[in-house]
Amino acid sequence: MGLGEKLHNAMEMLRKATVFDRETIKEAIKEIQRALIAADVEVQLVLDLTKKIEAEAFKELPKGLTRREHVLKITYELLVELIGGTETKAPEKPKRILLVGLYGQGKTTTVSKLAKYYSKRGLKIGIVCADTYRPAAFEQLKQLSEKLGIAFYGNPKEKKADAVVKEALKQFSNFDLAIVDSAGRDAFNAELVSEIKAVNNVFRPDYKWLVIGADVGQLAKKQAIAFHDAVGVNGVIITRMDGSAKGGGALSACNIAKCPVVFIGTGEKAEDLEEFDAQRFLSRVMGYGDLQGLLEKAKELSEEQELSPEEILQGAFNLETFYQQLKATKKMGSIGKIAEMLGMKMQVPKEILETTEEKLDSFKIIMDSMTKQEKTNPDLLNHKRIERVSKGSGKTESQVRELLKQFKQMQKVFKKFKGLDEAKLEKMQKNGKLDFGKLLQGFGPKKKQKFKIR
């Protein structure tokens, strides 16, 4: 069970308790403590947070809130504060970004993700390989930049990183943004400090971001302070947030070290990078959804394809649109991530969550053997028609039936997206923050949501 699920269970304990007293709150607090400590959050931070919850729980109630709603609200707000608060925002038009960090943290991959992120926002990007220490660094970054169609500069014959950066600045003088990938080491040492200081002096970046893997947990604090003392780090990017149980520890450690988390990496693909918003992140991992993030992803995708966000997330549903939407959704991250953003991951059938590119290709071949009428109205596909489609596509009848089964399952899922648009989203926002209780009522499980998390 992950951090989000454990915290969700603690909140549900508070929400569903038939008797709401100090004992109930203490039991829920114990669950929160277990969840945070398991996520490698520093024990003293956990104790401080839970003391605050206890201290605030029985104070005078704000107007219009019940005791239960008040406790849920302050618990959520204190958890948001623990992992980063709500102040951090990624810069819209940075000119120079320097990435620093130790080996194995995902720094080079993050350079390409940042390049894709900002190129989507209309900036002309240049990537610089200033890692002259690791032999494969030049080739890795070169290949990543070519795959994305981003300008690249590096010089494998030059051993001085600052000299590479100096030349790159000439090459990219008319570019909107230059991103430098600096060298790392197995551990923080004097040689690394000397090198990144030299690069920093030549490059003069407006943003210096430390890249840390989520699996370092609370050790992130030590790294953040060390790199900040060396070059004045003003932000952190945490990678591998999709697979590490220690993500909560890394987030809280960076917050305590006064190094705000700007982005998080959520997968291996170039698009698996998202702005870190503590409130939206916490709400999503706890199972309350992130529809704002979902719409943003849909918007980005609509710029790459002739599809509107509404067409991606809803609309008339037949086999053709099923295939298009499934493919579009895969590009937005994964079916699992989309379901997570809707706060309904547990409702989506496992086989849909695990749909692979290979299976998508197989579905397309099967659909090519169907008539236009059959694709528009899949209910026409009786046994004889399935047999004909099977022979025409070279697939088995069971594979054809699997496609039809997934179509019907997905049809039910996409019905829950109906009506999701910016106008509705904006209506649900108050002071720029989402009311996740209402969002759940509209798009998630049909449960009575008595509390509002803002």
Compute the distance between CA of residue 96 and CA of residue 175 in angstroms, rounded to an integer.
Answer: 10
Q: Does 448 score more than 70 pLDDT? A: no
Q: Which CATH number fits domain 291-415: 3.40.50.720, 1.10.260.30, 1.10.1740.10, 3.40.50.300?
A: 1.10.260.30
Q: Does 450 score more than 50 pLDDT? A: no
Q: Does 274 score more than 80 pLDDT? A: yes
Compute the distance between CA of residue 276 and CA of residue 261 in angstroms, rounded to an integer.
Answer: 6
pLDDT (average), residues 281-306: 58
pLDDT at 433: 38
pLDDT (average), residues 250-275: 87
Instruction: Decide if 96-277 and 291-415 have a common fold.
Output: no
Choose between 293 and 227: higher pLDDT: 227
Compute the distance between CA of residue 271 and CA of residue 90 in angstroms, rounded to an integer.
Answer: 16
**Collapsing DSSP states into helix, strand and coil, what is residue 314?**
coil
pLDDT (average), residues 40-44: 89
SS3 of 169-181: the string is HHHCCCCCEEEEE
pLDDT at 319: 80
pLDDT at 271: 85
Q: Does 229 score more than 80 pLDDT? A: yes
pLDDT (average), residues 427-441: 38
Stated pTM of the model: 0.69
Domain boundary assignment for the chain: 3-82, 96-277, 291-415
Q: Does 424 score more than 60 pLDDT? A: no
Q: Does 262 score more than 70 pLDDT? A: yes
pLDDT band at 187 (very low <50, low <70, confident <90, very high): confident
Compute the distance between CA of residue 388 and CA of residue 359 in angstroms, rounded to an integer.
Answer: 20
Among the residue ranges 115-124, 148-157, 398-407, the one predicted with the least confidence is 398-407
Percentage of residues in the chain with pLDDT exceeding 90? Answer: 35
Average pLDDT over the chain, rounded to an integer? 79
**Which range scores top for mean pLDDT: 54-58, 97-101, 305-309?**
97-101
Q: Does 278 score more than 90 pLDDT? A: no
Of 344, 225, 351, the C-alpha closest to 286 is: 344
Contact 146, 129 (CB under 8 A): no
Domain 96-277 is in which class?
A: alpha beta
For residue range 322-349, list pLDDT tens digits in order: 776 666 655 555 555 555 555 555 455 5
Compute the distance between CA of residue 343 and CA of residue 288 in angstroms, rounded to an integer.
Answer: 5
Choose between 243 and 371: higher pLDDT: 371
> What are the angstrom distances between the C-alpha of 80 and each of 47, 76, 152, 161, 360?
16, 6, 38, 39, 38
pLDDT band at 20 (very low <50, low <70, confident <90, very high): confident
pLDDT band at 201 (very low <50, low <70, confident <90, very high): very high
Both tokens assigned to 439:
């969002």
Choose between 423 and 82: higher pLDDT: 82
pLDDT (average), residues 261-271: 88
pLDDT band at 272 (very low <50, low <70, confident <90, very high): confident
Among the residue ranges 6-10, 131-135, 325-329, 382-386, the one predicted with the least confidence is 325-329
Q: Which CATH number fits domain 3-82: 3.30.1340.30, 3.40.630.10, 1.10.8.290, 1.20.120.140?
A: 1.20.120.140
Q: Does 243 score more than 50 pLDDT? A: yes
Compute the distance between CA of residue 176 and CA of residue 56 in angstroms, rounded to an integer.
Answer: 48
**Collapsing DSSP states into helix, strand and coil, what is residue 416?**
coil
Instruction: List beta partners, residue 261.
Output: 236
Compute the distance between CA of residue 51 and CA of residue 64 in angstroms, rounded to an integer.
Answer: 25
Compute the distance between CA of residue 327 and CA of residue 356 in angstroms, rounded to an integer.
Answer: 10
pLDDT at 200: 94
